[in-house]
Amino acid sequence: MTPEEIRQAIIEILEDIAPDEDLSNLNDAVSFREQMELDSMDFLDIVMELRKRYRVQVPEEDYVQLASMDSTVTYLVPKMGQVPA
């Protein structure tokens, strides 16, 4: 997957987890929690969806890497680069 495909995959996961959120103005450099009403369970749902949909394992110590869209895409490129879109 390309970085743009990974970004779109994250958007789809966020839409499922927080269907009432407007993601059209999401700032990729700002943390998800600053822009959206996500709690710790929502964050764990993101991690679980990555595992379920793409078989990507995110160890707990790496959760901080998933703070914003930019950091999430950067973190996932090496893990999802071989995943078909």
The CATH code of the domain that includes 41 is: 1.10.1200.10
Task: Tell me, yes or no, whether 85 lies in a domain.
Answer: no
Q: How many domains does the chain have?
A: 1
- Is 39 within the bounds of a domain? yes
Please tell me the predicted confidence (pLDDT) of residue 38.
87
User: What is the average per-residue pLDDT within 43-57?
Assistant: 94
Residue 82 has pLDDT above 90, yes or no: no
Q: Is the pLDDT of residue 84 over 90?
A: no
What is the rounded CA–CA span in Å between residue 2 and residue 85? 8
Residue 14 CB burial class (10 angstroms; 0-12, 13-18, ≥19): buried
Residues of the domain holding 16: 3-80
* Count helices and strands in the chain by DSSP H and E runs: 4, 0
pLDDT of residue 76: 96
As a whole number of angstroms, the distance between CA 51 and CA 58 comes to 8
pTM confidence score:
0.89
pLDDT at 85 over 70: no
- Position 69 in a domain: yes
Q: What is the DSSP string of 48-83?
A: HHHHHHH-----GGGGGGGSBHHHHHHHHHHHHTTS
Give the confidence band of 70 by pLDDT, cuts at 50, 70, 90.
very high
Residue 54 domain-assigned? Answer: yes
